[in-house]
Amino acid sequence: MRANLIIGAYTIVALLAACSGASTPSNPSNLSNPSKPIASGEIWPDDRGEHINAHGGGVMAYEGTYYWYGEHKADTTSSAYVGVTCYSSLNLTDWKYEGVALSVVDEPGHDIERGCVLERPKVIYCPTTKKFVMWFHLELKGQGYAQARYGVAVSDTPTGPFTFLRSGRVNPGLYPLGMTEKDVAAVEAIPAKSVEKWWTPTWYDAIDRGLFVVRDAKAHSDGRHDLPAGQMARDQTVYVDTDGRAYHIFASEDNLTLHIAELTPDFTAHTGRYVRVAPAGHNEAPALFRRGNTYWMITSGCTGWAPNEARMFSAPSIWGPWTQHPNPCRGPKAELTFMGQSTYILPVAGKEDAFIFMADIWRPRHPSDARYIWLPITFENDVPVVEWRDRWTLDFFD
């Protein structure tokens, strides 16, 4: 009876949230066992007693249940040999293994062929189509990180199986908001010799003006691979705003510049409208949330699997302007994001200002043993702070 009441309450909150386009409908005060501690960096066993294998992931709430999607990592390689796993939970601390939501395939030459690189999957629910839409970063098998593609898949149910739709580069032939034909022509006129050397003042200026955006708008070759037209898309997340519009946020331009690209109403394609954030800032691992009328984004620098100092940005609109703030992390190893790298920020709905910062502690030599950091975000003078806590419980937000 009590369980029914709880599910009923979840359903009502979920329906309300679905109508407003919000993505996390559960009320944590209804969650079972909120006093079970979250211990970042430790082994997190699932219902089978196995360490959760869902890295670089994100969490979506739907009808009172949280679904955690992430990269399945093997023991000795970071390439994808299984696909995207899914776990479910009513309380964000007890996780049931739901299986492989998106499976890699054995067909040679397939975009998501077993052995490809499939990273940072995120799922959002589209109330218009009633479909669950998964976005991820894809690299074709055997091509390193050269392709820099997005991948997209859909499902009728949160646990899948998701059907792969396509992969590609973003917004081929299109330029960011505000970049005119004249601007494009001016960039095309930059002498190649003057920007051969990276990190010079001339090169910075050219990147700022869109040197790599113009390069990638058309199909070209990097000398080793044929690359399709469109903007590069590596580390990524997706975000559904309170008005129901969705956005794809990803590291582009050789990881130099973040792009924020609007998605179509069915959430499965780009509309062509996009902006660039922090040109030449070298940000990856974007995680975005909104508090009131301010958008916040936490990112990392680009040092492969090794940790570095988190960065933070804010903007009054998703389209910017984005302003950089100091590292929000506090505590031991705060200058290295507690040895982790951001992946997602989970709003705990039903609670005002309750957000969980999610990060990965990568273990490149033993990828499946990578660990998770989940920490509550607090606010000081309205600015987010992520403070290390060995153990904390969800009633922190009460």
List, in order, residues 6 or more apart from 10 with CB less than 8 Å away.
Answer: 25, 26, 27, 30, 63, 64, 65
| Residue-by-residue DSSP string for 38-95 | B-TTS--B-TTSPBP--EEEEEEEETTEEEEEEE---SS-SSBSSEEEEEEESSSSS-
68/125 with CB nearer ligand DGJ: 68
Decide whether 13 or 152 has the Cβ nearer to ligand DGJ.
152
**Rounded to the nearest whole angstrom, what is the least distance from the CB of residue 190 to ligand DGJ in the complex?**
29
235 near ligand DGJ, rule: CB under 6 A: yes
Q: Rule CB under 6 A: is residue 305 a binding residue for ligand DGJ?
A: yes
Question: Which of 120, 270, 282, 371 contacts ligand DGJ by CB under 6 A?
Answer: 120
d(CA 379, CA 336): 20
Distance CA 311, CA 297 (A): 8
Residue nearest to ligand DGJ (CB): 304
Report in angstroms how near the CB of residue 3 gets to ligand DGJ at its nearest: 38
324 - beta bridge partners? 313
E strand or H helix at 217: helix 211-217
What x-and-dash track marks residues 127-146 binding ligand DGJ by CB under 6 A?
--------------------
The count of chain residues that interact with ligand DGJ, using the rule CB under 6 A, is 9
CA atoms of 380 and 70, how far apart (whole Å): 31
By beta-carbon proximity to ligand DGJ, the closer residue of 214 and 232 is: 232
Site for ligand DGJ in 45-64 (CB under 6 A): 56
Q: Binding pattern to ligand DGJ, positions 177-196, x when CB under 6 A?
A: --------------------
Q: Tell me which of 24, 159, 236, 341 binds ligand DGJ, using CB under 6 A.
A: 341
Residue 287 interacting with ligand DGJ (CB under 6 A): no
CA distance 153 to 160: 10
Asked if 285 touches ligand DGJ (CB under 6 A), the answer is yes
| One residue of 284, 312, 373, 384 binding ligand DGJ per CB under 6 A | 284
Give the separation between CA 308 and CA 121, rounded to whole angstroms.
22
DSSP secondary structure of 246-284: EEEEEEETTTTEEEEEEEPTTSSSEEEEEEEESTT---E
Taking CB under 6 A as the criterion, the residue among 304, 316, 331, 332 binding ligand DGJ is: 304
Token pair 């930059």 in the structure block, residue:
190
Q: List binders of ligand DGJ among 54-113 (CB under 6 A).
A: 56
CB 258, min distance to ligand DGJ, A? 13
The residue (of 72 and 131) whose beta carbon lies closer to ligand DGJ is 72
Give the β-pairing of 284-291 and 294-300. antiparallel
Residue 361: its H or E element = strand 355-361
| Type of residue at 262 | E
* Tally of CA atoms within 13 A in the half-sphere of 148 that contains its CB: 23
Q: Which amino acid would we find at residue 395?
A: D
Taking CB under 6 A as the rule, does residue 254 contact ligand DGJ? no
Residue 46 or 119: which CB sits closer to ligand DGJ? 119
Minimum distance of ligand DGJ from residue 341's CB (angstroms):
6
Comparison of 98 and 119: residue with beta carbon closer to ligand DGJ: 119
Of 98, 111, 119, 254, the one binding ligand DGJ by CB under 6 A: 119
First to last CA, the chain: 25
- Is 301 near ligand DGJ (CB under 6 A)? no
Q: Which residues contact ligand DGJ by CB under 6 A?
A: 56, 119-120, 235, 284-285, 304-305, 341
